Amino acid sequence: MRTGTLLGVVLMLCCLGSTVGAEPTPEFGEREKTFVDRMAAKDLAEIELSKAIKGKSSSAAVRRLARAILADDSANYEQLFKLCLRRHYAIAPQLDERHRRLLAEIRAARSSRALGRKYVDTLLLEEDRIAPELTRLAADKGLPQDLEQFASNSAQMIARHERMVRELASK
């Protein structure tokens, strides 16, 4: 977590330096804050689960999936963090109890065969939960342009993840 905190401070300093003298960006409304918080928590959960599973799984396909999701969600989280900095909104995502429990199971597991299935099932559940909201937000022309673009990009990423996960689950 220290690396993530350090990255956050560096990104914040870079973004603040690039906005000196620029016109202030309006802050998020409550609806936007709720969405941003959910996306940050989702990305964090998938990042942590993917890090853990890529080191534990005996399946090369599961490890490839975990690496791809880790790269995508890390980049998505970085974009979200920058967006929040411009909007003066601090995000501090927390893993919920279900993700904490699953992460502990993955870290403690001796056998990796069942973990791959649990990881895939968790990803499918995550994608099913957030995809409809992202689709609605991406189509909402009342949103700030930067958040609308982020929602659209995130929806495409999640659709790609869902295809990869479903393909792996079908094997």
Domains of the chain with bracketed CATH:
31-169 (1.20.1260.10)
Q: How far is CA 15 from the centre of its chain?
A: 20
Q: Give the separation between CA 103 and CA 57, rounded to whole angstroms.
A: 13
**Reduced to 3 states, what is the DSSP secondary structure of residue 32?**
helix
Which tokens in the block code for residue 50? 């993917």
Angle, alpha carbons 107-111-116 (nearest 5°): 75
Quick: pLDDT tens for 66-110.
Answer: 999 999 999 999 999 999 999 999 998 888 898 898 888 888 877
pTM of the predicted model as reported, rounded to 2 decimal places: 0.79
Quick: pLDDT tens for 42-57.
Answer: 999 999 999 999 888 8
At residue 167 the predicted structure's pLDDT band, cuts being 50, 70 and 90, is: very high
C-beta separation of 51 from 70 below 8 A: yes
Cα-trace Rg, the chain: 17
Q: How far is CA 46 from the centre of its chain?
A: 6
C-beta separation of 89 from 59 below 8 A: no
Q: Give the separation between CA 150 and CA 81, rounded to whole angstroms.
A: 11
C-beta separation of 47 from 71 below 8 A: no
Quick: pLDDT tens for 137-161.
Answer: 777 777 788 888 898 899 899 999 9
Number of alpha carbons in the 13 Å side-chain half-sphere of residue 110: 0
* Contacts of residue 146, Cβ cutoff 8 Å, sequence gap at least 6: 83, 86, 87
